[in-house]
Structure 1
């Protein structure tokens, strides 16, 4: 898997038609992974998904790629194209504003030249750290201003 030092992401941009089509391929997986992440984090650190407190699973993943994919970035690697996307979560609107998730996936160039779309991860930020290196902030739901940057979760 590539690291931040190994990839050159293009500038953040509005999704193209090709991006919408590609994201629609992984939309179901993204929604499933959001719910899985939320449930897993709620077992040991509910603050990670705290902006979604009181919101049902169905409402949390009620986004539509055509309407809610607002930004993309990509980078070519030797094994395919890494895609990052910022997706609005319409159910999240609080004192921090709208809520967004950042996703990462890959269009893998298979051995036979066929493309496989592979979901990689959601960005879950264990932000600031105390003097012992332990996280003091947790954030799975980003703000509009959170930059869409490479992540390797």
Structure 2
């Protein structure tokens, strides 16, 4: 598997035609997997989607290509890794850059003529001084889109 050290990752930029095409290829899977991720985290780490408790699964997954706001592409020996920042409209209505309203996803393609495949969503973990970990999968507009493995 490619790592941050072995891949050439580009700078963040607005999605271009190829990235938008890749997003279209995985959009249905993104929606399905985001709802699944929330259900799984609600069992053991409910804080992961705490700011989305007030929205239904349908609202959580009500994004479209217009909400795909940022991308980074990493070139590897075996294909392209796409990291995307996706606005969740149901959570963005609160306004302000500190409102958690984005998910970061990872997709893969063997090349520009090959279909994209969903890989994962980013879940950040933070450890406090007592060693307790907290998890979250929702990010703010200001948080950078960085390399993540799972």
Whether the aligned pair in 1 keeps the contact of 2:25 and 2:117 (CA below 8 Å) is no
Q: For 1:133 and 1:116, locate their aligned partners in 2 and report how far apart those are by CA, in whole Å.
A: 42
Task: Give the aligned partner of residue 8 of structure 1.
Answer: 8
Q: Which residue of 2 aligns with 1:130?
A: 128
CA shift, 1:35, in A, is: 0.5
Counterpart contact for 1:106–1:117, Cα < 8 Å? yes
CA distance in 2, matches of 1:98, 1:120: 22
In 2, are the aligned partners of 1:90 and 1:98 still within 8 Å (CA)? no
Give the distance between the partners of 1:79 and 1:64, measured in 2 at CA: 28
Please, which runs of 5 or more residues in structure 2 have no aligned partner?
none
For residue 116 of structure 1, report the CA deviation from its aligned partner.
3.9
Matches within 5 A, 1:39-54: 39-54=39-54
Distance in 2 (CA, whole Å) between partners of 1:2 and 1:148 is: 17
Q: How does 1:14-93 map to 2 (within 5 A)?
A: 14-65=14-65, 67-93=66-92
Corresponding residue for residue 150 of structure 1: 147
Q: In 1, are the aligned partners of 2:60 and 2:90 still within 8 Å (CA)?
A: yes
Partner deviation per Cα, 1:81-109 (whole Å, 9 max, x = no partner): 00000000000034732500000010025
Aligned length in residues: 147
State the SS of the aligned residue for 2:18: helix
- CA distance change for structure 1 residues 134 and 4 in 2, over 3 Å: closer, same or farther? farther
CA offsets 1:6-63 (integer angstroms, 9 cap, x no match): 1121110011122111100000111111011000000011000111011000001101
Which whole-Å CA distance do the structure 1 matches of 2:130 and 2:29 have between them? 36
* Root-mean-square deviation over aligned CA pairs: 1.8
Alpha carbons 1:92, 1:99 under 8 Å: kept: yes
State the TM-score, normalized to the length of structure 2: 0.90
